[in-house]
Amino acid sequence: MAKSPDQEHPHKAFGWAARDKSGLLSPFHFSRRENGDEDVTIKILFCGVCHSDLHVAKNEWGFTNYPVVPGHEIVGTVMKVGSNVKKFKVGERVGVGVIVGSCKKCESCQQDLENYCPQTIFTYNSHYTDGTKTYGGYSDMIVVDERFVLRFPDNLPSEGGAPLLCAGITVYSPMKYYGMTEPGKHLGVAGLGGLGHVAVKIGKAFGLKVTVISSSPKKEAEAIERLGADSFLVTSDRTKMKAALGTMDYIIDTVSAVHPLLPLLSLLKLNGKLVTVGLFDKPLELPIFPLVLGRKLVGGNEIGGMKETQEMLDFCAKHGVTADVEVIRMDYINTAMERLAKYDVKYRFVIDVASSLSQ
Amino acid sequence: MAKSPEQEHPQEAFGWAARDPSGLLSPFKFSRRATGEKDVKFKVLFCGICHSDLHSVKNEWGFSTYPLVPGHEIVGEVVEVGSKVEKFKVGDKVGVGCLVGSCGSCDNCHDHLENYCPKMILTYGAIYHDGTMTYGGYSNMMVVNEHFAIKFPQNMPLDAGAPLLCAGITVYSPMRFFGLDRPGVHLGVVGLGGLGHVAVKFAKAMGVKVTVISSSPGKREEAVQRLGADAFLVSSDINQIQAAMGTMDGIIDTVSAVHPMLPLIGLLKHNGKLVLIGAPDRPLELPVFPLIMGRKIVAGSCIGGMKETQEMIDFAAKHKITADIEVISIDHLNTAMDRLAKGDVKYRFVIDIGNTLKQA
């Protein structure tokens, strides 16, 4: 008979879990595995609240395995290292993102693309190589294979840096892969939330001209004055949308609900690329004519491999890019989730785990 | 007051036109412009019937103006050249495809991408620089700017080569642009019709492994034995599709009706490319998860520029690639259109204009 979560491993752990599709989180006792030769044991300091955490807590994608401890934007300090661990030592500040395992042998893993390995193990709601469930960062500690731990640059603050571990790589990776990094080119960022605001900052760091495309006129001042966007388009403003037709080289579409693609595709120049990174469960309507007549494309991208995630963190540290966050206590999490569902956050909640998670 | 089609230009012409969205075609008298200094005048010998011709005569895309003379896979023989024409002389064989004009000054035109010029002028159903309607190749003669005329290779049969002027370039261009044109690539071709069968032939000539994906099991033998495809998948056979998941570098989708994208996206390897060249009249459903999880793309492509069209036809001539055709007389035109609507042709009708289009 399967052991209970708090007995299946030798080290006691404590966090907050959702137990059903209400998505309500509450205290949860479980356990973490023994620190193996390749492992690093991390005391968790902060964890970002990603929109995916909300989708999974409420089983919106249909594959949640309760109880689930979300959280894949984790910053902490190393407490213990296994005998084969080379990259880290006790006391160092590290990060853990969306994945904690892969097969390490396939073509994708060999190309540092662990995120495309068919046997990717996600930080939460997956099964580890030993068959047990993975639990995420809304918890006091985590044991992770060194390959999936990131060095946290000294000058990157923990709170503002934590969301980069998912939001940051989610926009950085397609920007690199689809060639959206030539200074002077014009990037559109659709949606100004957790992903979108980081995309604006990274876009500016690449020297791009950045236009935010949003359904909320109220976000304009913020986008331009604080985030540094060059311009702002409200999707319902027909005159301005028309004037912007065929002006963008690329668009990162971060909108996490079904929305019309036609207006966005029309904003692209010839050979323009729209990359969608928002995950939602219903299909989008894809009008063919704009693709065919303008040789445009719609692409997807999923986070990034470990090497690229480290590269992204170092890039952000160098250019002073951090997420804009609202730090919360663990017991505020359910309210935070409700506010997140209404997009009422600028722009990421980050849980101060170390200070507020108490048994 | 606008002049009638017969009177608006100095040179008499006749052809067959559709007059309303029933799409029925019938004899039509009109006129062509005087042969300008950069123009080539030719008598039309053959014209391929493209599925776009059918969409247009029935106004399925909503922008047809009648009377409409279709036809943009045109092969003919030059009878007159303007004083500044350099590429052609009387007696040469020429081809005209989907375009007869563009602005000539934008970045796209300078990059030989006239097909993406915002002011490109289609061979039929469009307004020319002089404000008059363009009429296509279901007619006895044409006047075209030499820039938009293709030198027809000497060793290529005129009738079987005509469809390459649209079908050929429509598949060739994205195969080159998206890198699906070299040994080691595994390409899927969805739909085995006018576009699809030419895609298979080009792909084999480029050393590409080809799998045809079709809704008709009856086409398997044809695809594999005659056209040289390496494999054949029936799109409704879940087992066959499952077995092929994640095996293709790219897919050229020629199907011009609404159809599910999810299985096609699943067939792609990661980083794979699904290129749509068929133009359904309604949007398709794009599932986002598989695109994101596999870093895959869905793209479109529209014919090709003039330089690339010439390159394509020279490539086809070198590799002895032509379309598989059924030659018809002009009187069979409406029957052919009905059969085309049902997919009942292997794989392109070509009208023998030279021998069968006679003025009433």
Check whether B149 has a pLDDT greater than 90.
yes
Q: What is the pLDDT of residue A22?
A: 95
What is the Cα–Cα distance from A47 to A13, expressed in whole angstroms? 16
Beta-ladder partners of B41? B80, B143
Neighbours of A339 (CB within 10 A): 16
Check whether A40 has a pLDDT greater than 70.
yes
**Checking DSSP bridges between strand B11-18 and strand B209-214, what pairing results, if any?**
unpaired
Closest of B104, B83, B81, B137 to residue B306, by C-alpha: B104
Smallest CA–CA distance from A170 into chain B, residue: B292
Assign A280 a pLDDT band (cuts: 50, 70, 90).
Answer: confident
Q: What is the pLDDT of residue B122?
A: 96
Q: What is the pLDDT of residue A1?
A: 59
Residue in the structure block whose two tokens are 């997807």: A300
Check whether B80 has a pLDDT greater than 80.
yes
Residues of B with CB under 8 A from a CB of A: 108, 113, 116, 177, 261-262, 270, 273, 276-280, 283-302
Give the predicted TM-score (pTM) of the model.
Answer: 0.83
Q: What is the pLDDT of residue A27?
A: 95
Say if CB B323 and CB B200 are below 8 A apart. Answer: no
Q: With an 8 Å Cβ cutoff, are A285 and B283 in contact? A: yes
Assign A56 a pLDDT band (cuts: 50, 70, 90).
Answer: very high
Say if CB A272 and CB A296 are below 8 A apart. Answer: yes
Q: What is the pLDDT of residue A150?
A: 98
Q: Which of A261, A288, A299 sits opposite B279 (nearest CB)?
A: A288
Tokens of B78: 């030059």
Check whether A350 has a pLDDT greater than 70.
yes
Of the residues B261, B270, B276, B277, the best mutation for testing chain A's interface (the one with the most A CB atoms within 10 Å of its CB) is B270
Neighbours of A6 (CB within 10 A): 13
Residue in the structure block whose two tokens are 């300008």: B36
* Residues in chain A within 8 Å Cβ distance of B285: 283-286
Assign B59 a pLDDT band (cuts: 50, 70, 90).
Answer: very high
Kindly write down the DSSP assignment for every residue of A212-253, as one continuous string.
Answer: EEES-GGGHHIIIIIS--SEEEETT-HHHHHHTTT-EEEEEE
Q: How many CB pairs under 8 A join A and B?
A: 105
- Counting Cβ atoms within 10 Å, is residue A148 exposed (0-12), middle (13-18) or buried (19+)? buried
DSSP state of B65: -
The complex scores an ipTM of 0.73
Of the residues A117, A277, A297, the best mutation for testing chain B's interface (the one with the most B CB atoms within 10 Å of its CB) is A297
Is the Cβ of A295 closer than 8 Å to some Cβ of chain B?
yes
* Residues in chain B within 8 Å Cβ distance of A278: 288
Query: How much is the average pLDDT of B37-58?
Result: 96
DSSP state of B47: E
Three-state SS sequence of B235-274: CCCHHHHHHCCCCEEEEEECCCCCCCCHHHHHHEEEEEEE
**Shortest CA gap A14–chain B (Å):** 31
Q: Which of A262, A279, A299 sits opposite B297 (nearest CB)?
A: A299
* Residues in chain B within 8 Å Cβ distance of A110: none
What is the Cα–Cα distance from B53 to B136, expressed in whole angstroms? 10
Q: What is the pLDDT of residue A302?
A: 85
Helix or strand or coil: residue A317? helix
Is the Cβ of A106 closer than 8 Å to some Cβ of chain B?
no
Assign A332 a pLDDT band (cuts: 50, 70, 90).
Answer: very high
Tokens of B283: 């949007």
Q: What is the pLDDT of residue B159?
A: 97
Say if CB A22 and CB A70 are below 8 A apart. Answer: no
Is the Cβ of A176 closer than 8 Å to some Cβ of chain B?
no
Assign A257 a pLDDT band (cuts: 50, 70, 90).
Answer: confident
**Shortest CA gap A340–chain B (Å):** 21
Q: Judge if the upstream peptide bond of residue B347 is cis by omega within 30 degrees of 0.
A: yes
Check whether B236 has a pLDDT greater than 80.
yes
